Structure 1
């Protein structure tokens, strides 16, 4: 693939603000020569790629702006596959502005958000899925999101999809060829072979599609709703998990009237803990609004923690609650709070009735909280396979589902003996969505939308 050496661009690659060190990245045509005109030290034009050089940056009057380290990355062995220079200077806002001003005077322009990564994509450094993983890796705020982004950056599912797409292209070409010989009733594409190829693609697509529910929760934070009757101890549990007085705790039932939310990291996974109003028949308008909001949160939950006072509830009552939770088709755990009020024998009876779905705790002392949090992380880990790709991007999910739908139509057409022209339409649709997913088919609007979300300097 021909490398596109475009006009030189520059940007601050480190976070803005005063710091010990700042890095200014320059990429594009004559990036090394331009930097060399400002640099006093070794002649950068004669230095090898992947070398670092100490010197000074000076203006036209030979005034020293700063002592710097300059790193050279010659095309195509660089992030953008263009000539790239990284200037490590002191993190003074003044120094950064002066160096950028000198670069602009030499014909460099300021980079747009994500422009370095966009150039890397256009020059074939990686595909569009991997390019988007760069932004996800930068934004990763937990071990789980970091792991998902890194897997995607290393190729994830896109390499496998590219190979399968190429095979599908070959079959589509044969189907198109049959259209040219429509009157002669010839068959170039073996239908059984096409069916097997579609099956093999679907075997790759469907686990990825199913992984989005978990992947999206990991990326946004796993919405974990604390629900139960008033005075069950939900606010006490929230405070104990966060180790701070986040919610008001009172013996008066119905104290929590609105949704209270905070984040908790457990084993590298970000959970969004949502404390809700107690579920009961409301006694006033304000409480009724709170109860309605609780029901809305339950509808959006990724995990439900149903908390109840084990000394006040009955097994029949909790069985009815569990039946309702099962209908929601999301993981749940029954948390029997205030376990100190029951004898060990009674607690054993509760556990025999509800099995692993029940965890007894004492929220006000923190007893058994570790067992409960392990249950939460277990729900997430049970739906992810270490080293396997988890889809976290809505754009990817939409193209995967559209591809799967088109391939399902191809199979239906094969079973029904559909003519070549209808098969060709569905194959083209599948190929288009696969191509837009990996970036083999792109539009300027698509690229502008994706890379505009990146930070400047990346």
Structure 2
């Protein structure tokens, strides 16, 4: 990807009012903008990496705001280019005025508004960050739990990239031995035995499995689980949502059809975000009280089809009904189902878990908050969450796909290594493909199209 060195500018703080707002510029030779927008000290310039309190002014000298100007000289900046940060009061109007003034003053150098993620994209292209670290910037900003933020910070510090590079180095070393043997076929050496190629490959695969396990757990921290509450009206879905959330986020009444639309609440279980979606009670469309409830029921089925886990709620005090079985018959076969038998305070059941071939059954009381820990534990089990005590990397689906692909190539290499030296050329090719897939994680081998997609999802100003 070609590096666009055109100077860029954007508001780098979140929309809305705040105590402090930041306008950030990056590019070559920002001196004209500094001189025009900032009422510079007597020395006539800003000392790099020092905060200077001064006025931000219009072309006629009137003051827009007063604040701090910090200048970072290339390459010692976030983007690797010259960077100027203007920190003023965080009102939307004053920030827009300051942004407009920068654009006006920067016309002579071609200053333009930054695209989403363009500052971080330049940091990547100027070798200030690798691709995994660049993605961790966005993940840290978007982290919805403390555990996710810690894992994103781990990746931003380069921990994830470090283990990937170590894997790549091991693959390269093995490739070097294989290809050296291919280059000198006259040397009658049993390569696989003399160089311990099979042992090296086995250790590489073991290392990859450990990295994949940590990355998969990190991906769970990032994405969480989408859990849909489904069932007939008045079985206690909204009561359960409120109990899990610890507050009254859904209206609870004895009137059937109270919940008309999705109500979503995100809770945390051991740091994992669980997005619980309460839906309209499911009953025959003919029984629905009005058009609004019928639309709500249609949206319920839409949510069920998109779920990671379905919580099918039933009334333990009356037992299963034909309507409950009809609901089960419409569940997607590929989505895990937990049958929640609610109202055990009325039925006399004890809280517990029963497993069958089609679903897990949990007995609880949402009203009395009994059996909720059983549900939380089951959600963690389905998610595959394991407290390993190891640092996790907030991996993305892209990273997991690359690791899986590398694993497949190494598996094929192992099968070839088990055959004979006659397959060394194919063995070497599988190692090359595995190396290529691992390199795509850090961006050492990445298509321009992929970079465009990744950085376009960042916020403007980052």
Q: TM-score, normalised by structure 2?
A: 0.77
Report the Cα offset of residue 334 of structure 1.
5.5
Residue 73 of structure 2: aligned partner: 74
Of residues 447-456 and 388-397 in structure 1, the stretch that sits farther from structure 2 once superposed is 388-397
Residue 172 of structure 2: aligned partner: 169
Cα RMSD, aligned residues only: 4.2
1:339 maps to 2:344: yes
Residue 406 of structure 2: aligned partner: 403
Structure 1 residues 445 and 43: alpha-carbon distance in aligned structure 2, compared to 1, 3 A threshold: farther
Q: Secondary structure at the match of 2:121?
A: helix
Q: Secondary structure at the match of 1:202?
A: helix
Report the Cα offset of residue 128 of structure 1.
0.6
Write out aligned runs for 1:281-430 (5 A): 301-313=307-319, 330=336, 335-343=340-348, 347-348=349-350, 351=352, 360-363=363-366, 365-368=367-370, 371=373, 374-375=376-377, 379=381, 382-386=385-389, 388-417=391-420, 418-430=422-434
Residue 441 of structure 2: aligned partner: 437
Structure 1 residues 193 and 457: alpha-carbon distance in aligned structure 2, compared to 1, 3 A threshold: farther
Whether the 8 Å CA contact 1:32–1:83 is kept in 2: the answer is no
- Residues 1-50 of structure 1 show CA distances to partners (whole Å, capped at 9, x for unaligned) of xxx99443322211245554321112232235742454223367765432
1:109 maps to 2:109: no
Report the Cα offset of residue 118 of structure 1.
1.4
Residue 449 of structure 1: aligned partner: 453
Q: Secondary structure at the match of 1:146?
A: helix
Query: Following the alignment from structure 1 to structure 2, what is the Cα–Cα distance between the partners of residues 283 and 33?
Result: 68
Structure 1 residue corresponding to 2:198, chosen from 173, 195, 209: 195
Query: Following the alignment from structure 1 to structure 2, what is the Cα–Cα distance between the partners of residues 151 and 129?
Result: 11
Report the Cα offset of residue 107 of structure 1.
4.1
Whether the 8 Å CA contact 2:260–2:280 is kept in 1: the answer is yes
Report the Cα offset of residue 97 of structure 1.
1.6
Residue 97 of structure 1: aligned partner: 100
Report the Cα offset of residue 249 of structure 1.
4.8
Q: Secondary structure at the match of 1:157?
A: helix
Q: Which has the higher helix share?
A: 1
Q: Secondary structure at the match of 2:70?
A: strand
Q: Secondary structure at the match of 2:77?
A: coil
Residue 155 of structure 1: aligned partner: 158
Q: Secondary structure at the match of 2:415?
A: helix
Whether the 8 Å CA contact 2:23–2:98 is kept in 1: the answer is no
Query: Following the alignment from structure 1 to structure 2, what is the Cα–Cα distance between the partners of residues 218 and 251?
Result: 37
Residue 143 of structure 1: aligned partner: 146
- Residues 269-327 of structure 1 show CA distances to partners (whole Å, capped at 9, x for unaligned) of 432223457789x696989999998788667544444433333339xxx9xxx9xx9x9
Query: Following the alignment from structure 1 to structure 2, what is the Cα–Cα distance between the partners of residues 283 and 196?
Result: 63
Structure 2 residue corresponding to 1:265, chosen from 252, 264, 267: 267
Q: Secondary structure at the match of 1:437?
A: helix
Query: Following the alignment from structure 2 to structure 1, what is the Cα–Cα distance between the partners of residues 424 and 116?
Result: 45
Query: Following the alignment from structure 1 to structure 2, what is the Cα–Cα distance between the partners of residues 117 and 403?
Result: 27
Residue 237 of structure 1: aligned partner: 240
Q: TM-score, normalised by structure 1?
A: 0.78
Structure 1 residues 309 and 157: alpha-carbon distance in aligned structure 2, compared to 1, 3 A threshold: same
Report the Cα offset of residue 129 of structure 1.
0.7
Query: Following the alignment from structure 1 to structure 2, what is the Cα–Cα distance between the partners of residues 207 and 329?
Result: 27
Structure 1: tracts of 5 or more residues without a match = none
Of residues 115-124 and 18-27 in structure 1, the stretch that sits farther from structure 2 once superposed is 18-27
